[in-house]
Amino acid sequence: MDLGLTGKTVVVTGGASNIGRAISQEFAREGARVAILDRDAAQTRKTVEEIKGAGGHASGYDLDVTDVDATAATIAAVERDQGAVDVLVNNVGWNGKAEFFLNLPPERWQKAFQLNLFSTLNVTRAVLPGMVDRRGGAIVSIASDAGFGEFRMADYGAMKAGVLAFTRTVALEYGRYGIRANTVAPGLVVPAPDAVGDGSLWSIDIGMGPKEVQNIESRMPLRRRSEAVDIAWSVLFLASDRARQLTGQVMSVSGGFVMPR
């Protein structure tokens, strides 16, 4: 099925590792021009080279997505280099080691806020005016099933719940301009070792070993955890014209572990 993404300019934050890497690769396979915004320069170069080696089009931009001025400048550079942004994928996120709320220091709440929620608002704010001017665009933000409430993920879940609410609000406010905003909420995704750079947030141990993973899988109706490409395929669909009547929606990709109502 042709998703109509050929020639589209797609921005993927955190697009060099794990889920972001898969998203970048799949958009490139569909013929899109992919702009990877990531803080891990070495992994970004690796992912860009992989995409180009497979015949795709990708460019990398070094960016801290919590920096307002740098984000605005980077989006301006993307539009000069690649053309107007058609699709934004807010993928950057961080959850740290799973812990009970009373064991989480306020410094970690701040980090969770900056990387999960503030970054999404910040990059969206940089891209949205151009979409409004052009009367069209698609925004897909990566939330998490933790956003519906999850054991030992109070700070992360709160920020991802904020991503869900923010995305719905953007959908309500800017649908009149032909802009769609949707959310993908992944369940458990364990990154492959070669899909994560040393400078990636995903390189940090989140305290989940094989037994914990197996326990979660056993409670999934499909009895298997998601892979990064499963998230990517959902993002591509929501970004495409095949989903032209979908906005303000959340898609849980978790093997049925969570079924939003």
Contact 74, 61 (CB under 8 A): yes
Per-residue CA distances from 151 to 101, 103, 107, 124, 186 (Å): 9, 13, 20, 29, 16
Q: Give me the DSSP letters along the chain.
A: ---S-TT-EEEEETTTSHHHHHHHHHHHHTT-EEEEEES-HHHHHHHHHHHHHTT-EEEEEE--TT-HHHHHHHHHHHHHHH-S--EEEE------S-B-GGG--HHHHHHHIIIIIIHHHHHHHHHHHHHHHHT-EEEEEE--GGGG--TTBHHHHHHHHHHHHHHHHHHHHHGGGTEEEEEEEE--BPPPGGG--TTSGGGS--S--HHHHHHHHHTSTTSSPBPHHHHHHHHHHHHSGGGTT--S-EEEESTTS----
CA distance 95 to 156: 5
End-to-end CA distance of the chain: 28
Specify the amino acid at residue 202.
Answer: W
Active-site positions read 156
